[in-house]
Chain A
């Protein structure tokens, strides 16, 4: 704690009269603040506060303290299942996507999905037009753009009789 002149002090070394005075001032100004706030709060809200929010506070503290258990067996199972699903999705992707291309690379995806205009198409690419650009103006490969492409492809296939 810092005193007025900037030197360090602590409660243990402070004369009891000073500590008592400081605490009294704390209480005084807190009460002052309470009256000030009370004026700006409606009676209705104060009733809601005392009947709902105040009692709820101790329950919320208990919620925090007790926590929620993570089932480690289920966590392991979940990890295993996600790994399997990711693997099978990846296999299906690479039956179409060229070997050596990275699915996490926006540049690689752009070259594979979109038509030229500054992009060098790779073999087997689709040459479609991008539905959105990034803030820097590059064709976007974010999830929304890919979802839009998929939605339109599915719609077009539906119109051609492929449900």
Chain B
């Protein structure tokens, strides 16, 4: 968004706030009820049309299955792209399996519950890397404070807030944590003060102060950004630790805006592609374990969604498979053999259920051992 458009947006929002403040309380309560129900209706209608009526119409003709066509060369960062089809006639689903919404706690709707195991005696396991991209960033940029947080099991966003707002971690307020969390993610995706202001609802000036302080406390990230810029300008490509390259010839563009965009893409590529290649290595590690344990006919990787792995296996071996998945993702022998040791641990959240959406934490299913 240009500065002019941004100013206009801020102006409209300010007038809107002012007009709301003028309403009597009874009208505000009425408006709140109206908007809450309207937004709920619109969301429910979208879920119904896209994820229920759509499949219902198609599975009558093509059978009750979706087939995810994962493409290993589908994105520049190496993330798996996914086209999803119904039945064997390759009827496009219209939405990617990657974009299935998470459980909506407020509306109590979980669309993922309709995707299930093949047979009754099976389990659906979802294993998700937690804050993977920030861990990759901490490792690649050698960020002392981030590494300290990850290695000591601290909550990264609270730790960041404590550094930015210069207070003890236990005194960090929820809104301060939220600002720090957004700033952490914005750095990876190339956002700035205007994005922070928009997401957490603070003034641009305050957002700028948070970003400046973030740069100060995590100065190593900004050193990596400068190094990346130098490399892109010299070689016209960036490369992740696995050797995956993204060519960026537009760095020579006379358009300063384009150059800025290229630099953002370059930094983002290093982080995202490393994270996604680590997941591919975890897949490869798990496949090796499956072969070793001779579970080929009893376990299958059903999908890879962003930083997670979805596995369907027989219920009697599910505890062992959970253990193998954790080993593949946390220890990740294939990734270690290719790029060496990581300086921060990988954390995995693993849930077990009978559908894609109804999983409960593994510890609750099988205990913490």
* Interface, chain A (partner B; CB < 8 A): 41-48, 51-53, 55-57, 59-60, 62-72, 74-75, 78-79, 81-83, 85-86, 89-90, 92-93, 95-97, 103, 115, 126-133, 143, 146-154, 156-157, 160, 162
Contacts and interface: CB of A to CB of B under 8 A. Distances in A.
Given A60-B70, A82-B44, A150-B36, A75 B284 contact: no
A14 B365 CA distance: 64
Given A71-B115, A82-B109, A146-B35, A153 B48 contact: no
B39 interface: yes
Interface string B206-246: 00000000000000000000000000000000010011110
Main secondary structure of the interface of B (DSSP, over half): helix
Contacts of A70: 55, 59, 64-66, 114-116
27 contacts: A41-B243, A45-B243, A46-B243, A48-B277, A52-B277, A56-B283, A56-B284, A64-B67, A69-B118, A70-B65, A71-B64, A71-B116, A75-B56, A75-B114, A79-B53, A85-B44, A85-B109, A86-B45, A89-B38, A92-B37, A93-B41, A95-B33, A132-B9, A149-B35, A153-B28, A160-B25, A162-B28
By CB atoms of chain A within 10 A, which of B29, B40, B337 has the most? B40
Given A78-B111, A86-B48, A66 B283 contact: no
Nearest to A88: B37
A67 B16 contact: no
Range of interface residues on B (Cβ < 8 Å): 35 or more
Contacts of B277: 48, 52
Contacts of A75: 52, 55-56, 59, 114
Given A48-B244, A53-B72, A68-B65, A81 B109 contact: yes
Interface string B56-86: 1001000011111110100000001000000
A59 B55 contact: no
By CB atoms of chain B within 10 A, which of A64, A68, A97 has the most? A68
Contacts, number: 217
Contacts of A156: 20-21, 23, 28
Contact of A82 (B52, B70, B244, B356): B52
In order of increasing CB-CB distance, the 7 nearest A-B pairs are A45-B243, A44-B243, A129-B19, A89-B41, A67-B65, A67-B67, A131-B16
B287 to A, nearest CB: 6
Interface in B269-286: 277, 280-281, 283-284
A86 B21 CA distance: 30
Contact of A72 (B27, B33, B64): B64
B37 A149 contact: no
B30 interface: yes
A42 B242 CA distance: 9
A154 B65 CA distance: 43
A150 B9 contact: no
By CB atoms of chain B within 10 A, which of A48, A90, A130 has the most? A48
Interface string B81-121: 00000000000000001000000000101010111111000
B31 A128 contact: yes
Contact of B40 (A62, A89, A130, A160): A89
Interface stretch (B127-135, B161-169, B297-305): B297-305
B70 A63 contact: yes
B316 interface: no
Contact of B42 (A48, A51, A143): A143
A74 B355 CA distance: 10
Interface string B295-326: 00000111100000000000000000000000
Contact of B59 (A41, A64, A72, A126): A72
A81 B70 CA distance: 32
Interface string B231-264: 0000000010011110000000000000000000
B155 interface: no
B244 A129 contact: no
A111 B350 CA distance: 49
B299 to A, nearest CB: 11
A153 B25 contact: no
A68 to B, nearest CB: 5
B44 A89 contact: yes
A11 to B, nearest CB: 26
A153 B20 contact: yes
B48 A152 contact: no
B334 A51 contact: yes
Contacts of A160: 25, 28
B113 A78 contact: yes
B32 interface: yes
By CB atoms of chain B within 10 A, which of A43, A82, A132, A157 has the most? A82
B116 A74 contact: yes
B115 A68 contact: yes
Given A52-B284, A65-B67, A143 B39 contact: yes
